[in-house]
Amino acid sequence: MSRAVQNFAGLVAVLAGHEVVDLSLLLAEDLPCYWSTHQPFQHKTWNWFATRRSAAGNVYQRGGPYATRWLALDEHTGTHVDAPCHFVPPPDSGLPDAGPAGAITVADVPLTQLIGPAAVIDAPAAVGAPGESPLIEPGVVTEWERAHGELAAGDVVLFRSGWDRHYLPGPDGADYVHNVVVTGGSPGWPAPSVSTMELLLSRGVRCVGTDGVSMGPAQDGRPVHVAGLSAGAVFVECLAGLSGLPARGALFCFLPLRVEGGTGGPGRAIAFRPGAG
């Protein structure tokens, strides 16, 4: 038996003792899956099995008896990753904060950077002022480390706040993002401070996730994005279902669409949680 086959068999054996947990948001036009001031998500029928006309709208058979639909979506729709070039300008642009990380698009991010042991850290239960996010400060991380061991290079830190409870269809979902960034009437999701991001970087962490809408706080998301992305880190935002993961022991994996020049990309986030079988 070749070493490659042996390694694959070993991987299968390990994963056989795990459950697969889906950490991704469902995309739908009546769900708040896009940033409220950006390109809205659309999903429309291009070809249907047979032409049908109705008061609600027509569908057409344009190419034969099959069904297919088209998508219109922002790069940062639903569960997605921020590539470094999302907030870091290209190194030769002459713009503020420009640097080498500004040349790293979503197509350039190594998949190994998006796979690793999950370190799930609960955000404090504090509530921010309307239109503002409560900050996750370094003490939250160091307290977690005292209980679960110090973070290390390769760990994927996931901030768990339960913000996905606001991800609801129709008007009920307005508190997810719209009422925070547009009307300013609702408090925002918990988000790490720049000091916290610097602490994670000092531990060697290069992939950070959140079940919040953004890694940055609602009141000013730029500083924490620049701090992390300029160091070559990536952010997986709009996660869901982190309540199903232990603080340690799960393996995280995110696979984004490989878009040329993309500042980010939606994809499927999963975790392998011990306990199956």
Nearest partner of 115 among 24, 202, 200, 207, judged by Cα: 207
Q: pLDDT tens-digit profile of 32-84? A: 999 999 999 999 999 999 999 999 999 999 999 999 999 999 999 999 999 99
Model-level pTM? Answer: 0.94
C-alpha torsion angle, residues 73, 76, 77, 79 (rounded to 10): 150
Distance of CA 94 to the CA centre of its chain: 29
* Cα 81–Cα 262–Cα 239 angle in degrees, nearest 5: 15
Alpha-carbon span 203 to 182, nearest angstrom: 36
Quickly state the pLDDT bin for 6 (edges 50, 70, 90).
low
Q: pLDDT tens-digit profile of 109-167? A: 999 999 999 999 999 988 989 999 999 999 999 999 999 999 999 999 999 999 999 99
The total of structural domains in the chain comes to: 2
DSSP label of 264: E
What the block records as the tokens of 215 is 């890694």
Q: Is the pLDDT of residue 4 over 70?
A: no
Domain annotation covers residue 253:
yes
- Show the domain range for 196: 17-38+74-274
Domain annotation covers residue 11:
no
Alpha-carbon span 160 to 39, nearest angstrom: 27
Domain annotation covers residue 69:
yes
The answer to whether residues 181 and 239 belong to one domain is: yes
Residues in the chain: 277
The answer to whether residues 103 and 211 belong to one domain is: yes
The answer to whether residues 57 and 119 belong to one domain is: no
Q: What distance, in Å, lies between the first and last C-alpha atoms of the chain?
A: 26
Q: Which helix (H) or strand (E) holds 71?
A: strand 68-72
Residue 20 CB partners (closer than 8 Å, separation 6+): 270, 271, 272, 273
Q: Average pLDDT over the chain, rounded to whole?
A: 95
What the block records as the tokens of 187 is 């408090």
CATH of residue 117's domain is 3.50.30.50
Alpha-carbon span 115 to 113, nearest angstrom: 6
Alpha-carbon span 183 to 39, nearest angstrom: 18
The answer to whether residues 59 and 120 belong to one domain is: no
